[in-house]
A = this chain, B = another copy of it.
């Protein structure tokens, strides 16, 4: 398998941060993933090195054959250096655990980055569709088509009573996880965030940070996803997101933004303009601070503040200020302090520092 170059992907914001799509002011992206395994092999954790290689080869070949539309890149994770692996994590194309694992493992993704497949993660297959904004139906339609196309090439491990068999029991059944990435800066500012997130948890939803499982909520981004996969059809799950979960959270955030604008416009503007000031003036900046500042600027743009900043630039910077993207852009490996300096230089350059 010839390895395609990742250089070309670095400069774009990818799909999940394109900043378009319905309700994108609050719903950053919609993601659906399906966990699948194939018959004839043990689950990943119990497979031998040889079996893992065979699984990777089999599934990569099957994906190549199933005629999915678009240009698909097949990446052998084993052959990547740590920086390229981290790059794929930052773009939400692979999970941290796939990046950090050992042995034969791959990611196959369509160039737009809307569709991707992880091979030899926890399950043999993790199909993912990522759409900017709130696009539950479109994402479902797309992943369903991928699933069907692949099903024609391989034999899925399926049990008539339990449904799709998965390595972890929490995924058995439909193997589906629906996640929406939400941007909730106003709820953080009004102090109501924890209340809202707790309500989500009470609805049996998991709340995670920007980079998935085990990561902190950075820059006011929260990933909300289902935890139950058994005994509930995909349609029921999507319905609950569409009619219940999302309208409620989105409305909370909208109300918080309105309340801030009405009662404490100066406090809100202060956050926004300080973020602009930092991004345009700092000489050193951590990736967390960059995320937080970009988050406030993003909100400022969405409530119509005349920041003379382009939303597209902000969305790109969300990714480009991340460690791997930053180093790829600079074309060299950088220490933590060097990254901090390079990151501040990047935001100044992109956002038009007025004086150097």
For the complex, is A284 an interface residue (Cβ under 8 Å from B)?
yes
Partner among B267, B274, B281, B306 whose Cβ is within 8 Å of the Cβ of A355? B306
| Copies of this chain | 2
CB pairs A–B below 8 angstroms (13 shown): A266-B341, A267-B283, A267-B284, A270-B282, A270-B284, A273-B281, A273-B282, A273-B283, A274-B277, A274-B278, A277-B278, A277-B280, A354-B354
**Which A226-274 residues have C-beta < 8 A from chain B?**
266-267, 269-270, 273-274
For the complex, is A308 an interface residue (Cβ under 8 Å from B)?
yes
Main secondary structure of the interface of A (DSSP, over half): helix
Residues on B with beta carbons closer than 8 Å to the beta carbon of A354: 354
For the complex, is A152 an interface residue (Cβ under 8 Å from B)?
no
Which of chain B's residues has its CB closest to A341's CB? B266
Residues on B with beta carbons closer than 8 Å to the beta carbon of A276: 281
Complex Cα–Cα for A270 and B344 (A): 9
Which of chain B's residues has its CB closest to A348's CB? B273
In angstroms, how far is the closest chain B Cβ from the Cβ of A288?
A: 16
Residues on B with beta carbons closer than 8 Å to the beta carbon of A283: 266-267, 269-270, 273-274
Complex Cα–Cα for A306 and B280 (A): 15
Which of chain B's residues has its CB closest to A265's CB? B283
**Which A143-200 residues have C-beta < 8 A from chain B?**
none
For the complex, is A101 an interface residue (Cβ under 8 Å from B)?
no
For the complex, is A307 an interface residue (Cβ under 8 Å from B)?
yes
Mark each residue of chain A from 345 to 356: 1 if its CB lies under 8 Å from any CB of chain B, else 0.
Answer: 000000000110
Which of chain B's residues has its CB closest to A305's CB? B355
Number of chain A residues whose Cβ lies closer than 8 Å to a Cβ of chain B: 22
Which of chain B's residues has its CB closest to A283's CB? B270
Complex Cα–Cα for A236 and B282 (A): 47
In angstroms, how far is the closest chain B Cβ from the Cβ of A343?
A: 11
Residues on B with beta carbons closer than 8 Å to the beta carbon of A267: 283-284
- Identify the interface centre among A278, A281, A337: most chain B CB within 10 Å of its CB: A281
In angstroms, how far is the closest chain B Cβ from the Cβ of A250?
A: 27
Q: A267-B284, A270-B283, A306-B355 are in contact. List 17 more A-B contacts (CB 8 A).
A: A266-B283, A266-B341, A267-B283, A269-B283, A273-B281, A273-B283, A274-B278, A274-B281, A274-B282, A274-B283, A276-B281, A277-B277, A277-B278, A277-B281, A277-B282, A307-B355, A354-B354
Residues on B with beta carbons closer than 8 Å to the beta carbon of A344: 270
Which of chain B's residues has its CB closest to A337's CB? B266
The answer to whether residues A355 and B308 also contact, given A270-B344, A341-B266, A344-B270 and a CB cut-off of 8 A, is: yes
